Amino acid sequence: MPIPGHIDPVPVPRAATPRPDGRIDLLGLSKLELRMALETAQLEPKQAKLRAKQLWHWIYNRGVTDFSLMTDISKTMQPWLAARFAISRPEVVEAQVSTDGTRKWLLRAPDGEEYEAVFIPDADRGTLCVSSQVGCTLNCRFCHTGTMRLVRNLTAAEIVGQVMLARDALGEWPSTPEGRMLTNIVMMGMGEPLYNFDAVKDALGIVMDGDGLALSKRRITLSTSGVVPMMARAGAEIGVNLAVSLHGVTKEIRDEIVPLNRKYGIEQLLQACADYPGANNARRITFEYVMLKDKNDSDADAHELVRLLKHYDLPAKVNLIPFNPWPGAAYETSTPERVRRFSDIVFEAGISAPVRTPRGRDIDAACGQLKTASEKKSRAELDRLAEEKQAALG
């Protein structure tokens, strides 16, 4: 069924692009789909069940893409598999490394569409920022990705592929939890994850599977701009941590910078947060708040933010994000002094409000900067696209 929202997330349904060689790509298939693919290729059901288990281990625990390296599969079976199936990785158009160690990959799908993923290393963790769509419908005015048209949703394979590629680049096979650099995933890349719910759910199911990538749901965060009807379902069916792109505490300001607020207002959004399954003081909801000079950064805004979070009795953490400029942006970054003052007010009310250190700014990998290199537009074009999107909102 269609997902409620301003604009149909995928204007034109698109079939998956078949491989030129006719082989079936196993990446992104569930365990059941993997077994059924083998049965469809005329493997006897009992044999298919065994081979599916072996393939799952090699693909997601060992990171192997070559059937000939799967040592517990017979020498006669290996070429049979290779003739019918493939285990892919996204095509890397460009790989960049920031002076702070942040890595960004520009990736190209078989249909030629491009999307980005970012790995952010820290002393005690490493976080992969994963995209869910090519482009975005939401037109959040501070976000570079929001100036793009939505082209299409990413498939489960394309979402999982970003994790596999990062593991390849970091040399983290086999997949063991001890000592690995990639410890966390955030669905905060290009697109709105809840407008691509099924593919995101399927992909994260693979990522969390204990027989493969084995990343705990407590180490995965899904960020939404406030697609209220899908939030409870995300909590019940996916069960990962929730982050909400709030960015404003009044209807007027949030309508401007997060236009989805015109459909699902702050009160609806915060009530959905209060109802989110599994949210508690041990698993707080993260509220993302980009600091825009003279727009949403006053003392009054900070006090209103505290009032709202307390009114809805939310187990909350607020991430204050200095605005990351991009060419043609309509806003400026709040001064460091103003950001600190805002943070102090929220902290003094007993709510954690750390200031996020911008990472990867020099390679346009920071929060709100993701945008494919093929999308370069003038300020006039950006304004025109914004007007078109806002007209569609009604």
Type of residue found at 33: E
SS3 385: helix
> Are the C-beta atoms of residues 151 and 113 closer than 8 Å to each other?
yes
- Residue 200: closest CA among 159, 150, 230: 159
DSSP state letters, 282-350: TBPEEEEEEEBTTTT-SHHHHHHHHHHHHHTT--EEEEEEE----TT-S--BPPHHHHHHHHHHHHHTT
**What is the β-pairing status of strands 114-121 and 152-153?**
unpaired
Cis peptide before 259 (omega within 30 of 0): no
**What is the β-pairing status of strands 285-291 and 184-187?**
unpaired
Type of residue found at 269: L
Residues 200, 242, 104: CA angle, nearest 5 degrees: 60
> Are the C-beta atoms of residues 305 and 353 closer than 8 Å to each other?
no
- Residue 68: closest CA among 58, 53, 324, 118: 58
> Residue 120: CB partners within 8 Å, gap ≥ 6?
102, 126, 127, 128, 129, 359, 360, 365
Catalytic residue, chosen from 129, 143, 273, 367, is 367
Which stretches does DSSP call E strand in 125-209?
126-129, 133-134, 152-153, 184-187
For the question of residue 256 being annotated catalytic, the response is no
CA 1/CA 156 separation, integer angstroms: 18
> Are the C-beta atoms of residues 114 and 93 closer than 8 Å to each other?
yes
Measured CA to CA in angstroms, residue 20 lies from 17, 24, 33, 86 at distances of 9, 10, 21, 12
Type of residue found at 207: V
For the question of residue 140 being annotated catalytic, the response is no
**Hey, CA dihedral for 166, 172, 175, 177, is it positive or negative?**
negative
Catalytic residue, chosen from 113, 114, 116, 288, is 116
Catalytic residues: 116, 367
